[in-house]
Amino acid sequence: MSKKIILTGDRPTGRLHIGHFVGSLRRRVELQESGLFDKIFIMIADAQALTDNADNPEKVRQNIIEVALDYLSCGLDPSKSTIFIQSQVSELTELTFFYNNLVTVQRLQRNPTVKAEIQMRGFSDSDEGDNKAGTPVGFFCYPISQAADITAFKATTVPVGEDQAPMIEQTREIVRKFNSTYGETLVEPEIMLPDNAACLRLPGTDGKAKMSKSLGNCIYLSDSADELWAKVKGMYTDPLHLQVSDPGHIEGNTVFTYLDAFCRDEHFPKFRECFIGKKVSFEFNSLDELKEQYKAGGLGDMMIKKFLFEVLNDILSPIRERRHELEKNIPYVYEVLRKGSEVARAEAADTLAAVKRAMRINYFDAGVLDELIAEQTERFKA
Ligand code: TRP
């Protein structure tokens, strides 16, 4: 049976938030525990983070440990998953260099995620110096480096959010191109998307399209209970729900989107108290029942916010506690990363050797040199 291998990762540009959690982290832990995968590689993509942070390596350096702490506190287990730092696997850059030749500038320009990111970052079309700088080449080409990340580990499965779909598609193209040009060598990976629509792209607390640090609308895994409550209390709900008695709307109501992503039936008996009020009380057994009441009117935003807080806190407090423990043991965290990077390096070296063999640029491999000498001697004799 062919091996199932996972590779995925995150750029270390900030602490991880609950969008990362529902979009990928929670799933990774489930996959890790499922026993369905022979190997799991989780990469902290510092080299990719540097493609648009070249002037700020310190930020990337500081966030490596934040991301590692978030990983471990969510339940990624170094005895089951290899956690490593991208820049420490130099084979990845070598693979990228060879893949560069298999991709056109025009194809890269069509990558919708790169396009959107270039816009978001305000990189200019023309390069007029520091104030209106153009797109860094490394940033423009990061889909190719991401193909190297994935193929180096012979990944069959890449669990990521939907914004990463164009990267996986581009990786598959590179694999096909490589294999048809140089012979069957690389494994074509498949994307694995989150299974719940609310998890695909969790909006920020302000209801804006995406949770993102620059918009200041994130709930971090490492937020305290007080910070969590302050953020939930301030969340965007339904602008038409002015009076408690008014009918409420679910669509576009961020509190309900979060409940869709996090709430389970067992939360209702556990946090029954939230719906016992001074004036009115309710008893709900499922999210559907809660939604029905909200739509009918009479259910205040404060009640559902209290409930959402309890649900989130129920999920986040064990993570928070584990993080506090790990923060007291920083040497352990770096040891996990060091060992993981060593394991990752051996794996990537194996693929790089196969790639060089396929391209016949392995001149000094055992046996190859003798053959090469014989061939060229013969040629110059003639
Ligand atoms: N681009 C991903 C992100 O921004 C991070 C990443 C880098 C990645 N290399 C990868 C994800 C390989 C999956 C596979 O989050």
H or E segment to which residue 191 belongs: strand 190-192
Q: Check residue 44 and give its pLDDT.
A: 98
Q: Where is 39: in which H helix or E strand?
A: strand 39-44
In whole angstroms, what is the distance from residue 330 CA to residue 65 CA?
A: 8
* Confidence at residue 216, expressed as pLDDT on a 0 to 100 scale: 87
Judged on CB neighbours under 10 Å (0-12, 13-18, 19+), 314 is: middle
Question: Is any atom of ligand 1 closer than 6 Å to the C-beta of 48?
Answer: yes
What is the 92 CA–ligand 1 centroid distance (Å)? 13
Q: Measured in angstroms, how far is the CA atom of residue 246 from the centroid of ligand 1? A: 44
Tell me, what's the pLDDT at 182? 98
pLDDT bucket at 215, cuts 50 / 70 / 90: confident
Dihedral sign of CA atoms 167, 258, 21, 15 in order: positive
Give the contacts of 209 (CB within 8 A, at least 6 positions apart): 201, 203
pLDDT of residue 225: 97
pLDDT digits (tens, 9 = 90+) for 17-33: 999 998 889 999 999 99
User: Could you tell me where in the chain the CATH 3.40.50.620 domains are found?
Assistant: 5-202+329-371
Tokens of residue 340, six digits: 């993981």
- With CA atoms as reference, report the closest residue to 357 among 344, 341, 368: 368
How far, in Å, CA of 95 to CA of 67, rounded? 25
Give the Cα separation of 287 and 223 in Å (integer).
25
User: How many angstroms separate the Cα of 203 from the Cα of each of 17, 104, 217, 229, 316?
Assistant: 11, 34, 9, 17, 18
**Which pLDDT value is given to residue 236?**
86
| pLDDT recorded at residue 24 | 85
Pocket test for ligand 1, best of 17, 43, 187 (most atoms within 8 A of CB): 43
Q: How confident is the model at residue 239 (pLDDT cuts 50, 70, 90)?
A: confident
Query: Which of 18-27, 99-108, 125-134, 186-195 ranks highest by mean pLDDT?
Result: 99-108
CATH topology assigned to domain 5-202+329-371: Rossmann fold (3.40.50)
| Ligand 1 binding pocket includes 347 (Cβ within 6 Å) | no
CA distance 49 to 29: 24
**pLDDT digit string (tens) for 123-155?**
888 777 665 689 999 999 999 999 999 999 999
Residues paired with residue 5 on neighbouring β-strands, in sequence order: 39
Residue 144 Cβ contacting ligand 1 at under 6 Å: no
pLDDT at 1 over 90: no
C-alpha torsion sign, points 241, 245, 246, 248: positive
Residue 9, ligand 1, Cβ within 6 A: yes
The topology (CATH level 3) of 225-326 is Tyrosyl-Transfer RNA Synthetase (1.10.240)
Pairing mode of beta strands 82-85, 39-44: parallel
CA 145 – ligand 1 centroid, Å = 10
Residue 61 has pLDDT above 90, yes or no: yes
Provide the pLDDT for residue 218.
94
Of 199 and 173, the structure prediction assigns the larger pLDDT to: 173
Strand partners, 192: 159
Residue 179, burial from CB neighbour count under 10 angstroms (0-12, 13-18, 19+): middle
Helix, strand or coil, per DSSP, at residue 205: coil
CB of 46 within 6 A of ligand 1: the answer is no
Least confident stretch, 188-192, 198-202, 240-244, 272-276: 198-202
123 vs 103 pLDDT, higher one: 103
Distance CA 109, CA 141 (A): 10
Position 329 confidence tier, pLDDT thresholds 50, 70, 90: very high
Atom number, ligand 1, closest to the C-alpha of residue 48: 7
Asked whether 160 lines ligand 1 (CB < 6 A), one says yes
Locate the ligand 1 atom nearest the alpha carbon of residue 167 and give its number. 1
For the chain, what percent of residues have pLDDT higher than 70? 98
Q: Say if ligand 1 is within 6 A of residue 7 CB.
A: yes
The DSSP string of 46-80 is: HHHHHTT-TT-HHHHHHHHHHHHHHHHHHT--TTT
Q: What is the mean pLDDT of residues 109-133?
A: 84
In residues, how long is the chain?
Answer: 382
Mutate to test the pocket of ligand 1, among 149, 172, 187 (most ligand atoms within 8 A of CB): 149
**Residue 149: CB within 6 Å of ligand 1?**
yes
Instruction: Say whether pLDDT at 165 is over 90.
Output: yes
Instruction: Determine if ligand 1 sits within 6 Å of the CB of residue 174.
Output: no
Q: How confident is the model at residue 240 (pLDDT cuts 50, 70, 90)?
A: confident
Give the span between the Cα atoms of 201 and 88, in whole angstroms: 30
Ligand 1 probe mutation, 41, 164, 187, 210, most atoms within 8 A of CB: 164
User: Terminus-to-terminus CA distance in the chain, angstroms?
Assistant: 49
210 Cα: distance to centroid of ligand 1 (angstroms): 17
Whole-number average pLDDT of the chain:
94
CATH 1.10.240.10 in the chain, residue ranges: 225-326
What burial letters (b/e) apply to 26-65, b meaning 16+ CB within 10 Å?
bbbbebbeeeebebbbbbbbbbbbbbbbeeeeeebeebbb
